[in-house]
Structure 1
């Protein structure tokens, strides 16, 4: 989620994101030159698309379907604490699977709650986009994630939810597909389900799901895959099942207990 529909990207806001993902190592040394202005525009458009779902969520309104006063036991913080061991010690592999791994993990990162805090958002964008794309995106994203926008989502200016509530924003990849591939670039689509919403007793916007496909244009830069541009489209979405919607306290507990994947594919 984004914000994918969600970020557009989950609970526990000490470091802003309960979704734990592996960010690639910091790049150094010489980097390739920038893309054309039209390619940069596509990148900015991708960010705008990324925020559409969250904006819709912010303007949605409505009552929580179940406002039970039953309180769940708060899980221990160690249940989702990072192990400190990176699943991969270097950048993504220079092959088709490596490109798919990069795209899936970047979707998770961009769909985490870390995108709603300016400091963590800047770090994320600098880490996973090419230098040229990142330079053009930072200002656009800062404007998009304005204090007014965050307020509509129920968050304060730093992206924190009200006391007693958990803001949920996660992207869960279902599958990946290589659209194009070469040693220098790749286009990979990620089909995912997103979660976004405010879980809390007084919330009027409960956590909901959305299905989207996120396509990333990647470039091999400094021995790693980086994003040049990205776009999203609706679906494919399966028919909803007959599952009973859980109470807010059950959702909040699940978000705190189940940490996001650290590495995909």
Structure 2
């Protein structure tokens, strides 16, 4: 993926955290989860914080999890920005670790949720779900990629974007992530590409357009014996310009930037077989809010 831009986070009336560019999303403040108080006489009621035994610097391929987002920067439309949100001023700030907002959407466009609310919450939900879809392994197949782009983007930019992506997903591109030149996975291996939204922020809304940033973590690589491109984790922020089109939010353009990235923990890397089993056994989420 190529780095992008547009780094500001939430607007002034978004839960009272506008003066902090990263708020509780891994920047100058850190999200803290309050654990239940244990027995005061029991010193083991809470686990002590462990220092990392090692900090591993990962070099190699630039993250390819959201390839569509990176290439979307070549095309893309304009923004008029979207309607004032219906969310209360304390909705996001009062419980950063709890789910907030109204009942999830019920509609779907194929496998992708649709019918988001025409407010700040709906824009954030759309952006998070679109990030998941655009960062999936299905993007590496030409047929499913076209379906995803049509479901997530403004029809005015779809044709140009499809052409750009068809050219971008070249034999050389596939080889760079360890796939066969036609995009298929080598025999005996499992290809993994997942994006997981950690948080969202509305940067701007005005009329029928919105700019939403989605802080994400993700996985990409091959699992299995002999894999030359092992599964690695990454952190990045996607900025999506959304437009209200035909009763739903759609992407008109987008960009991506690295981080914010937390310090690596001291977890030992799992075996390739364990990673492959995890991907086969744990399904991804289709709704985020």
TM-score by length of 2: 0.63
Q: 1:179-198 alignment to 2 at 5 Å? A: 179-198=203-222
Deviations 1:104-155 (A, max 9, x none): 0000000001110111111111111111211111111011101222123222
Which residue of 1 is the match for residue 240 of structure 2? 216
Give the gaps of 5 or more residues in structure 2.
Answer: 3-61, 77-103, 108-113
Secondary structure of the 1:106 match is helix
Picking from 216, 230, 255, the partner of 2:279 is 255
Structure 1: stretches of 5+ with no match in the other structure: 10-40, 47-85
> Residues of 1 paired with 2:75 and 2:160: CA distance?
11
| Cα RMSD (Å) | 2.3
Question: Secondary structure in 2 aligned to 1:160?
Answer: coil
1:126 aligns with 2:150: yes
Alignment of 1:88 with 2:106, yes or no, is: yes
Shift of 1:227: 0.3
- Is the alpha carbon distance of 1:136 and 1:143 closer, same or farther for their aligned partners in structure 2, counting shifts above 3 Å? same
CA distance in 2, matches of 1:257, 1:158: 26
Q: Does 1:43 align with 2:79?
A: no
Give aligned pairs, total. Answer: 195
- Larger RCO, structures 1/2 (Cα 8 Å, 6+ apart): 1
Which structure's residues are more often helix, by fraction?
Answer: 1
Using the TM superposition, give the Cα deviation of residue 164 of structure 1 relative to its aligned residue in structure 2, in angstroms: 1.5
From the superposition, tell whether residues 163 and 125 of structure 1 become closer, same or farther in structure 2 (CA, over 3 Å): same
> 2:137, 2:194 within 8 Å by CA — same for their partners in 1?
yes
Larger CA deviation: 215-224 vs 146-155: 146-155
Structure with the greater alpha carbon radius of gyration: 2
Q: CA shift at 1:158, angstroms?
A: 4.3
Q: Structure 1 pair 4/94, CA: closer, same or farther in 2 (3 Å)?
A: farther
Determine whether 1:6 maps to 2:6: no
1:140 aligns with 2:164: yes
Aligned to 2:36: none
Deviation of 1:87 after TM superposition, in Å, equals 5.6
Aligned equivalents of 1:256 and 1:234: distance in 2?
28
Deviation at 1:160, TM superposition (A): 2.0
